[in-house]
Amino acid sequence: MPLLSSSSVSRFPVLCPSPSKPQGLTYRGLGIEKQKNVCSQRTVLTGFSSRNLGFVISAAGGKSGSSVEYDVPFPSDYTQLLQQAKEATELAIKNDKQLMEIEFPTAGLDSVPGDGEGGIEMTGSMQLIREFCDLVISPEKYTRTRIFFPEASEVTFARKSVFGGCSLKLDYLTKPSFFEDFGFVSKVKMADRVKPEDELFIVGYPYFNVNEMLVVEELYKEAVVNTSRKLIIFNGELDRIRSGYYPPFFYPKLGALSQTFLPKMETVYYIHNFKGRNAGVLFRCYPGPWKVLRKVRNKYYSVHEQEDMPSLKQVALEILPST
């Protein structure tokens, strides 16, 4: 049976009913409300909106290649974004990609990290992960999919809200330790969490604590390598590692990931915004090229394309100013 669904139906009410919640349930300051339609119930985050922006894609310069012909417009809202991410993921899995990244802002399609409060952004990612799973995973594969959240408390919250009544397996990367108040947590041994029937792992926003991404690498090594399993990192803010945000002297293991772990990853969907005088966007939808979009009067034009991911510094200091 295929891992992914062949249709674009986004709800499976029998296997994974949309969550119901106790009145007034909140997490990290973000409320959750329940809305109903004719067929099913759906959970939405209060204060979390899809922004309908205007976008124009024009011809671009830069390096060319076979994938340049694969043209995907910048999404107008989160519904279109998730559909694009779904199609990119399906194609990547079809092409036997095992380690994948999906990264985009959750406080608005034109936002940057930090625009929203950290807890709200994480809870927004949790909702979008649920929406993504409903689109991508076929009903018979729900019990063979394991979703990892950073901490055990996140799993508890997810089961009471967004993933309530869902047959997807929920798990966690770290657990509190005696020194939690000082920023220390205990890593969870991945070999003890994974089950033989697991086929797909989705890891949600593993960036708040430095140990989380190290556990993700362990998960990849112990449970994905030399198997047919797939691993998707969802909004992991991997650019922190790519850009050297964590000084290698203080975080040698984390810094090493940029050489040992990240090169093995396929970024199947990506949006990073740049603000200021040279505003723009770095955008990619697999298998297409990396595009730099320039913002002019609330419209976005493709000004540069290339096959490999440019650094954020290169985009900000070289590509955008030159256009």
pLDDT at 118: 60
Who contacts 214 (Cβ-Cβ below 8 Å, separation ≥6)?
A: 187, 253, 254, 257
pLDDT at 289: 97
What average pLDDT does the chain have?
79
The answer to whether residues 112 and 295 touch, using CB atoms and an 8 Å cutoff, is no
The answer to whether residues 115 and 105 touch, using CB atoms and an 8 Å cutoff, is yes
Comparing 78-92, 170-184, 260-274, which segment has the lowest mean pLDDT? 170-184
Q: Which of 7, 138, 153 is nearest to 83 (CA)?
A: 7
Q: Which of 261, 296, 259 is nearest to 280 (CA)?
A: 296
Query: In degrees rounded to 5, what are phi and psi of residue 32?
Result: -125, 130
Whether 40 has a pLDDT exceeding 70, the answer reads: no
What is the rounded distance in angstroms from the CA atom of residue 7 to the CA atom of residue 87? 11
| Residue 15: band (very low, low, confident or very high) from pLDDT cuts 50, 70, 90 | very low
Element (H, E) at 299: strand 299-306
- pLDDT tens-place string over residues 135-165: 999 989 999 999 999 999 999 999 999 999 8
- pLDDT tens-place string over residues 207-251: 888 889 999 999 999 999 999 999 999 999 999 999 888 888 898
SS3 assignment, position 116: coil
Angle subtended by helix axes 210-223 and 252-260, to nearest 10: 40
Surface-to-core class of residue 271, CB atoms within 10 Å of its CB (0-12 exposed, 13-18 middle, 19+ buried): buried
Compute the Cα dihedral for 173, 309, 2, 140 and give only its sign: positive
pLDDT at 185: 53
Comparing 4-13, 107-116, 143-152, 171-180, which segment has the lowest mean pLDDT? 4-13
pLDDT at 278: 87
Q: Can you spell out the DSSP letters for 187-218? A: EPPHHHH--TT--EEEEE-TTSSHHHHHHHHH
Who contacts 129 (Cβ-Cβ below 8 Å, separation ≥6)?
A: 147, 202, 204, 234
Mean pLDDT of 96-101: 98
Mean pLDDT of 39-44: 34
Amino acid in the structure at residue 95: N
Q: Which of 171, 168, 167, 132 is nearest to 153 (CA)?
A: 171
SS3 assignment, position 250: coil
Mean pLDDT of 45-59: 35
Degrees (nearest 5) of the Cα angle 119, 123, 129?
A: 145
Q: Domains of the chain, with CATH numbers?
A: 78-177+187-272 (3.40.50)
| Residue 128: band (very low, low, confident or very high) from pLDDT cuts 50, 70, 90 | very high
pTM: 0.78
Whether 178 has a pLDDT exceeding 60, the answer reads: no
Who contacts 83 (Cβ-Cβ below 8 Å, separation ≥6)?
A: 8, 135
Mean pLDDT of 97-106: 97
